Amino acid sequence: MLKHLLLTGAAGGVGQAIRPLLKTMAATVGAADIVPVGALRPHVTYQACELADRDAVSRLIEGVDGILHLGGISVEQPFDAILQANILGTYNLFEGARHHGRPRIIFASSNHVVGFYRRDERVDASAPPRPDSLYGVSKVFGESLASLYFDKFGQECLSLRIGSCFPQPKNPRMLATWLAVEDLADLCACAFSVPRLGHTIIYGMSDNDEVWWDNRAAAFLGWKPQRSSSRWRDEILAATNEDPADPAVIYQGGGFAGSGHPED
Ligand SMILES: NC(=O)c1ccc[n+]([C@@H]2O[C@H](COP(=O)([O-])OP(=O)(O)OC[C@H]3O[C@@H](n4cnc5c(N)ncnc54)[C@H](O)[C@@H]3O)[C@@H](O)[C@H]2O)c1
């Protein structure tokens, strides 16, 4: 069990959903965000922090022995916003970790790192990135930083290419990409407790029927997702009429692959 876990992005969708599940993983949790995180359990403290502020991020990491880095821009946005939160912010986080005893990091990367692979292709962690957005490019940056910081400084990290972590799948794409938050929490527990993590890349999906991603290279983590999108399958397919020629349907990244430049 961790002594003190830093959770960035604690006010976000995933941050709110996973907070109650961290109790068995860490004695205390520092819940950081630029906005208030809401009601707190006794073992959780709120820390206001702008990820682009290097000194503030460094202070967050003092006394921490594990980091779940969810904070940042989570959709396609103009480049300057992504630059501050995802590129500078992630750099600040890794630098803070390097200077404060190298606590293990779980970095919330994204399936949008490989969003321009087609849905009829199968990709593993060794596939070259094919980002579908500026947002996806920022996650490629984060994974590259994680690779550098492990090879050069021994900073261990799980680059977790989250599929779709929501209470339930909402469309046919999410039948393949859905990740139940309980499965995410189990994966975090595996990543924090495995004897050697190195820099590992894994796709974050539950035990869904339709599978685009191959996690065999990360089998040593011992993670076995227990939930599946299958119970929503019939309902979702009955309510959907997709155009197979639409780029948002052809590519794994969905609407991110189909959208234009965010500043046009
Ligand atoms: N939810 C998913 O399905 C999904 C899929 C792929 C990747 N991810 C990644 O997982 C993480 C969490 O996703 P989410 O759905 O909870 O996103 P979210 O947008 O709901 O939450 C992100 C949080 O980060 C905070 N944040 C943004 N910019 C910040 C800054 N400059 N400084 C400090 N905090 C800042 C926001 O206030 C917000 O609370 C994100 O990094 C996202 O890119 C999520």
pLDDT band at 42 (very low <50, low <70, confident <90, very high): confident
Q: State the CB neighbour count (10 A cutoff) for residue 101.
A: 11
The ligand 1 atom nearest the CA atom of 135: 43
Please check the confidence at residue 68 and state whether its pLDDT lies above 90.
yes
What spacing in Å lies between the alpha carbon of 74 and ligand 1's midpoint?
5
Task: Write the residue with the smallest CA distance to atom 29 of ligand 1.
Answer: 72
Instruction: Determine the atom of ligand 1 nearest the C-alpha atom of 112.
Output: 6
Nearest atom (ligand 1) to Cα of 14: 16
Could you tell me the distance, in angstroms and rounded to a whole number, from the CA of residue 238 to the centre of ligand 1? 31
> What is the Å distance from ligand 1's center to 71 Cα?
5
Catalogue the active-site residues.
135
Looking up tokens 């292709």 gives 121
Ligand 1 centroid vs 253 CA: distance in angstroms? 17
List, for residues 128-186, the tens digit of each pLDDT value: 999 999 999 999 999 999 999 999 999 999 999 999 999 999 999 999 999 999 999 99
The yes-or-no verdict on residue 41 having pLDDT over 90 is: no
Q: Percent of the chain at pLDDT above 90?
A: 98
Predicted pLDDT of residue 22: 96
* Amino acid at residue number 25: M
Banded model confidence at residue 203, pLDDT cuts 50, 70, 90: very high
- Span 2-21, average pLDDT: 98
Question: Is pLDDT at 50 greater than 90 in this prediction?
Answer: yes
Mean pLDDT of the chain: 97
pLDDT at 146: 99
> In terms of Cα–Cα distance, which of 94, 90, 82, 75 is closest to 12?
75
Residue to substitute in 6, 50, 60, 70 for testing ligand 1 pocket (most ligand atoms within 8 angstroms of CB): 70
Pocket of ligand 1 (CB under 6 A): 9, 11-15, 33-35, 49-52, 70-74, 84-85, 89, 108, 110-111, 162, 164-166
Helix (H) or strand (E) holding 107: strand 104-110
Give yes or no for residue 260 having a pLDDT over 90: yes
Residue 102: count of CB within 10 angstroms of its CB: 18
Placement of tokens 């290419």 in the chain: 161
CA-CA distance, 221 to 195, in Å (whole number)?
A: 9
Q: Which of 37, 47, 74 to mutate to test the pocket of ligand 1 (most atoms within 8 A of CB)?
A: 74
Q: What is the mean pLDDT of residues 225-243?
A: 96
* Separation between Cα atoms, residue 222 and residue 212, nearest integer Å: 20
Going by pLDDT thresholds of 50, 70 and 90, the confidence category of residue 207 is: very high
Q: Is residue 261's pLDDT more than 90?
A: yes
Q: Residue 213: CB partners within 8 Å, gap ≥ 6?
A: 111, 122, 123, 124, 161, 163, 203, 205
